[in-house]
Amino acid sequence: MFNTLAALCANTDGTTGIEYGLIASLIAMTVVGGISSLGTEVGGFYEAMQTGLHDSNETP
């Protein structure tokens, strides 16, 4: 049993693929977070622009 466990610990096949997968998922999470933050800021910008245009259209 010890020999089987030692063989499993020594086996490194597939670790590179797993590492690349983890790095890709970290990059994807960062991109999604950045895009959602940017989307919120852009939405606020357009909302402020709409309010400004609406307020400037009032008749005196």
**pLDDT tens-digit readout, 5-38:** 788 777 777 788 889 999 999 999 999 999 988 8
User: Could you tell me what percent of the chain has a pLDDT over 90?
Assistant: 33
- Could you give the CA distance from residue 10 to residue 4 in angstroms, rounded to a whole number? 10
pLDDT at 60: 62
With a cut of 80, say whether residue 49 has pLDDT above it: yes
pLDDT at 59: 66
Length of the chain: 60
H helix intervals, 1-60: 2-10, 15-56
* Statement: the pTM of the whole predicted model exceeds 0.85: no
Provide the residue ranges of all domains of the chain, joining segments of one domain with +.
15-58
